[in-house]
Amino acid sequence: MNDRVLRSLLIPVYLPSVLFAIGQGAVVPIVALAADDLGASTAVAGLAVVARSVGIMAFDIPAGQLVARVGERTAMIAATAGLTVALIGAVVTSSPAVFVALMFVVGCAWSVWMLARLTYVTESVPAAMRGRALSTLGGCQRIGAFLGPFLAAGVIRWVGLAGAFYVHIATAVVGCVVLVVVADLGDHRPDVAGHVPPRLRTLAREHRRNLAMAGGAAIVVSALRAARPVVLPLWAVAIDLDAMQISVIFGLSAAIDMALFYPAGHVADRWGRRVSAVLTLVPMAAGFLLVPLTSGFGTLLAVGVLIGLGNGMGSGIVMTLGSDIAPAVGRAEMLGLWRLITDAGGVAGPLLVAGVEAVTTMGAASVTVGALGLGGAALAAATLPTHYRSESTAAGGSAGDGDALAR
């Protein structure tokens, strides 16, 4: 039965997710270069990169409200349409300012897409299988991020930087066709008579204990993930590694990360979220603590592999924690709030690195991130549950109360 449930998500969720992730992996590395190609200053090119992340965060809450109103399938189709229009605009515009604005729209569309697919999987999969289902969703993102740059490189060779956007346009269109024509993807709607969507403030107040217990560890995981692509390349440059060596380090780390997504889901479901989070944070923290001790390609490669091992064991853990605490009524809105909280952690990681490095050294910044990771592991061990009680068995709960944390 377990395999049948996961197979039922293959076409409606996992295939479009891989396609979209390939497109994202194709575009993200060349956004600054594309802005520069339009004549943008270095500052504006950097703003174009940031604009996408700002768009994702800015639309986390509206995305949850949109998904709750129109359903997951309709929201994903709308997000795909908006994304495609923005990508076409990015290809044809000659204005750096318009390009920056379009990257913001791309981020907004991605926010809706990611929130809708997370809500759908949460609604569709039993709580006992949630770790595997969402680790596979995380694996789709990793597969796409790994393949996207290679596919883009081949197209860019023939048509220039616009080729990366063509790849994303193509994957978005094919993904939309899958959603509209092939996938049997319904929209989950609340079936409570006279249902009125709960106010976000009410949701946050009623579930503040769960948010606090799960949110701390999730924020640290997000911060460490976002710090990795800042710390490793800058340290590599500091110890005189070349671009090819840096690419090999990232490529091998990403491959190990990608290979572990399914075992990670089994750990989360069988041994619990606490074990999963600790197995994620401890290796990543150790890797950051060891970075200043590396002096060449081999040692930094080993550290990169260690960080990739930890990140791989955490495939889907942030999504799973959010799904566990989201109530049946107001689920999409709650997941929007959850994404905003964890996205803030993703922003905090690079800012922490930049702040510490500005007053000390990159080595000290890496150690600081590692210490944060160890603190997050201790927090996870102290606050996260070994398991979750389902909606039907939560103490004092009903079918609409959502999953409850259980020690």
Q: What is the pLDDT of residue 2?
A: 63
- C-beta contacts of 114-117 below 8 A and 24+ residues apart: 114/56, 114/63, 114/339, 115/60, 115/63, 115/64, 115/67, 115/75, 115/332, 115/335, 115/336, 115/339, 116/63, 116/67, 116/72, 116/73, 116/75, 116/76, 116/79, 117/13, 117/16, 117/17, 117/72, 117/76
Does residue 6 contact residue 136 with C-beta atoms inside 8 Å? yes
pLDDT band at 200 (very low <50, low <70, confident <90, very high): confident
Q: How confident is the model at residue 390 (pLDDT cuts 50, 70, 90)?
A: very low
Give dist(CA 373, CA 228) in Å, integer.
Answer: 12
* Residue 403's pLDDT band (cuts 50, 70, 90): very low
Residue 208 burial (C-beta neighbours within 10 Å; 0-12, 13-18, 19+) = exposed
Residue 386's CB: how many other CB atoms inside 10 A? 11
Query: Given pLDDT bands bounded at 50, 70 and 90, which one contains residue 405?
Result: low
| Average of per-residue pLDDT across 293-298 | 96
The stretch 123-142 carries a mean pLDDT of: 92
Do 214 and 324 meet the contact criterion of CB atoms below 8 Å apart?
yes
Specify whether the CB–CB gap between 342 and 231 falls below 8 A: no
pLDDT band at 391 (very low <50, low <70, confident <90, very high): very low
pLDDT of residue 393: 33
**CA 156 to CA 165: how far, in whole Å?**
9
For Cα atoms 279, 259, 128, give the angle at the middle one, nearest 5 degrees.
60
pLDDT at 30 > cutoff 80: yes
Closest by CA to 51, choosing from 34, 75, 76, is 34
Please compute the mean of the pLDDT values over residues 104-129 and round it to a whole number. 93
Nearest C-alpha neighbor of 406 from the set 398, 392, 394: 394
5, two tokens: 């449930």
The answer on pLDDT for 404 being more than 80 is no
| Gap between the Cα atoms of 51 and 98, Å rounded | 11
Q: How many CB atoms lie within 10 A of CB 156?
A: 20
**Is residue 190 left, alpha or beta, with left meaning phi > 0 and alpha meaning psi from -120 to 50?**
beta
State the chain's mean pLDDT as an integer.
88
What radius of gyration do the chain's Cα atoms show?
A: 21
pLDDT single digits (tens) 316-334: 999 999 999 999 888 999 9
pLDDT band at 243 (very low <50, low <70, confident <90, very high): confident
CA gap 366, 371 in Å, rounded: 9
pLDDT score for 81: 92
> Domains of the chain (ranges plus CATH)?
10-186 (1.20.1250.20), 199-391 (1.20.1250.20)
Largest distance between two CA atoms of the chain: 65
Helix (H) or strand (E) holding 11: none
d(CA 350, CA 46): 14
Model pTM?
0.88
Residue 195 DSSP class: -
Q: pLDDT > 70: what percent of the chain? A: 90
Q: Is the pLDDT at 380 greater than 80, yes or no?
A: yes
> Per-residue pLDDT for 354 more than 60?
yes
Instruction: Please tell me which residue, 188 or 277, carries the higher pLDDT value.
Output: 277
Residue the block writes with tokens 């515009």: 93
pLDDT more than 90, % of the chain: 66
* pLDDT at residue number 192: 44
The string of pLDDT tens digits covering residues 139-185 is 999 999 889 988 998 999 899 999 999 999 999 999 888 888 776 65
Q: Which residues of 1-27 are buried (b: 16+ CB within 10 A; e: fewer)?
A: eeeeebeebeebbbbbbbbbbbbbbbb
Q: What is the DSSP letter of 407?
A: -
Stronger pLDDT, 253 or 288, i.e. the higher one: 288
Check pLDDT > 60 for residue 392.
no
**Residue 205's CB: how many other CB atoms inside 10 A?**
10
